[in-house]
Amino acid sequence: MQHGSPLWQTALFFAGITFLLWEIWRGWRVGVVRSGMHLAAILVSTSLGLLAAKLVAAPFGGLGNLPGFLAGIVVGGGLGIFLFVAIWILGAVLFKRTQPQGSGVFRILWGAGGAFFGLLVGLVVLWGGISIVRSLGTFAESRVETQPDKPRPTQPRVADGLLTLKESLELGSAGRLLESVDALPPDFYELVLQIGKVTSDQQTMLRFLEYPGIQKILQNPRILDLMNDPSVIRASKEKNIFLLVSNKIVVAAVEDPALAEQLKKIDLRAALKFALESPPPSHSPSPAPPPKKRK
């Protein structure tokens, strides 16, 4: 690993232990019920958000396809955040902290229970943090690999830093242990790496658009309307998500069952492989040399 550092790995582990101790202390302060509801908020919001993401992505071919993945992220992520905030607020309003419980054995048990749930909350957050760091680092790795000839100072600092964190986290036996308990499968990181390589190189992206399945989508009348509509183009340039979502042409495209069926049939992995493979050499005959002039 060219970017990994044992010093950074030690710093990451120290930060993780510090975070766990802070969560234990915070769990003691808020008490067993509040701390337990914090854990429930994480588990319930994650589970129901993932379920919603799968249901929304199903008409688009599931989370393995790009349209389904994007739809699942928007709907499932939004629902998960809403549920987490709602459960957290409910626990804060209805239940007391440890300090107002008075003194004696009951207060100790109330705080100890909160500390236990705080430990569980910290472990769950760190577990998810491993996946987030590795995902962002994998995407940054694809950006760096597409520009291997450029010196390091020209690489984006954010991408370089994320790659350093990822490779430092994966160093040695401790790194292999963290990889074994990662919530996300290895195939997911391979998919992220391929997507990053395709989106970071213009020629590769053009080849991705040349994939037969993608070409059929681009020739769909709904997609042609999107590409030619001035309001959609303006909202895309301004990165105005609200205008895009509320646009009538975008809504019509999303609700079109024929387009959804086309999107469902796209094999994203095959399209990425097609884009990343070297194009076949041209077999066009080379121009004949000009005839020699007679003396």
Residue 247, CA atoms < 13 Å, CB-side half-sphere: 22
pLDDT for 3-12, tens place per residue?
Answer: 677 888 888 8
pLDDT for 37-46, tens place per residue?
Answer: 888 888 888 8
Please tell me the predicted confidence (pLDDT) of residue 149.
53
Please tell me the predicted confidence (pLDDT) of residue 20.
93
Please tell me the predicted confidence (pLDDT) of residue 17.
93
Q: Which of 116-120, 161-165, 233-237 has the highest mean pLDDT?
A: 116-120
First to last CA, the chain: 65
pLDDT for 18-58, tens place per residue?
Answer: 999 999 999 998 888 888 888 888 888 888 888 888 787 77
Backbone angles phi, psi at 152, to 5 degrees: -55, -40
| In the chain, % of residues over pLDDT 70 | 83
Could you tell me the two tokens for 165? 């964190």
Could you tell me the two tokens for 130? 């491993």
Measured CA to CA, the distance from residue 71 to residue 58 in angstroms comes to 10
Q: Give the CA distances from residue 34 to residues 40, 48, 96, 107, in Å, rounded to whole numbers and listed in that order.
A: 10, 21, 8, 14
* Contact by Cβ (8 Å): 211, 193: no
Could you tell me the two tokens for 112? 């100890």
Residue 110, CA atoms < 13 Å, CB-side half-sphere: 18
| Alpha-carbon torsion, ordered 128, 132, 135, 140, to 10 deg | -160
pLDDT for 59-95, tens place per residue?
Answer: 666 666 666 677 778 888 888 888 888 888 888 787 8
Measured CA to CA, the distance from residue 181 to residue 149 in angstroms comes to 35
Mean pLDDT of 255-276: 80
Residue type, 124: V
Report the alpha-carbon angle 129-138-171, nearest 5: 70
Count CB atoms within 10 A of the CB of residue 57. Answer: 23
pLDDT for 178-203, tens place per residue?
Answer: 888 887 788 888 888 888 888 877 88
